[in-house]
Amino acid sequence: MKVYSEAGRYGGWPANHGAWSWGSELLVGFELGYFKDNPKGHDIDYNRPFEPALARSLDAGKTWTLERPEGLRPPPGTRAPNDQEGVVGKAPVNCPGGIDFTAPGFIITFRMSSTDDGDSRFHYSMDRGHTWEGPCKLPDFGQPGTAARTDYLVNGKHDLTALITAAKLDRKEGRVLCIRTRDGGKTWNMVSFVGPSPEDYAIMPSSVRVGPTDIVTAIRRRRWIDVYRSVNNGESWSFVNQATLDIGGNPPSLIRLDDGRLVLTFGYRLEPYGIRARISSDNGLSWGNDIILRQDGGGTDIGYPRTLQLPGGNLFTAYYYNENAGKERYIGGTIWHPGR
């Protein structure tokens, strides 16, 4: 199905923005821009405005509506085309703190500037994404720069852990940091690096809690996905395994099902291009074979999924996609069942 599709436009990268669910109500974040064929990179026109957008479903993913909240727009100076055409939001401020992360309608999205060694910010909502507060500044944690995307775990009322990407010492992307706030977003502290500094990059984590102090995170490498585990709430991490072989390079989406299994979804950027999944019944120590959700993609500029569990046991996986080379990108979705 198509979550968002419009001729001449580019919908991209749900993994960067986040996805949330409240029963049959689903919310998927993505980037909304204009299509431009670019054989060597993303097919988005960087000379025209592009902005965060949301798609919302009230019927478990069957139908969708587009939302473009002003509260999610990038700050002035972040993107020149946006400044020129007035598609800008507020300048980042220091967060006053006191955010109740356990409130029923709370969600948060972490965003970055246009460079991997720039700065990052966060926006948060207390009403399921209808209105947004922020942007709020995120520290650099003593690193050359940060490139935060949305991956977080709520620990308590004012206590939240997030995993973000920071630039390496050579200012190239990147490695994963575990960070934490205990005062509702006012102050943030670096907890640890996840794994050693890589020769290429280790970026875009997706994390789940599997026990009171146990966290499993899947991390994008250049052409595969690594899995790490912490047994002490992120204070230290151990490498578990390489969850995928060569997939052509795509970030993971990791969720924990109600029955305790872990589901890993990812874009497959080799022929036949598409979207795939793997399942673990032992908290990521081993993984089953690929489950092919789609294999009709038009090229490598696809994927960046986020997966949600629906009432009744089905899963909904959102991603950006096209079936024909040189055509606009849409936000697609697949409803599927992970088996027993």
Tens of pLDDT, residues 42-71: 999 999 999 999 999 999 999 999 999 999
Give the containing element (helix H, strand E) for 162: strand 159-167
Amino acid (1-letter code) at residue 312: G
pLDDT digits (tens, 9 = 90+) for 231-289: 999 999 999 999 999 999 999 999 999 999 999 999 999 999 999 999 999 999 999 99
Residue 114 has pLDDT above 80, yes or no: no
Dist CA 83 CA 114 (whole Å): 14
Residue 40 pLDDT grade (very low, low, confident, very high; cuts 50, 70, 90):
confident
Cβ within 8 Å of residue 120, ≥6 positions away: 110, 111, 112, 113, 138, 146, 147, 148, 164
The domains of the chain, with CATH numbers, are: 2-336 (2.120.10.10)
Of the chain, the percentage scoring pLDDT greater than 70 comes to 100
- Which structure tokens are listed for 293? 């959700």
3-class secondary-structure state, position 200: coil
The predicted structure's pLDDT at residue 340: 78
- Which structure tokens are listed for 232? 């002490």
For 47-83, give the DSSP string: TS--EEEEEEESSTTSS-EEE--GGGSPPTTS-HHHH
Helix-strand-coil split of the chain, %, nearest 5: 5, 45, 50
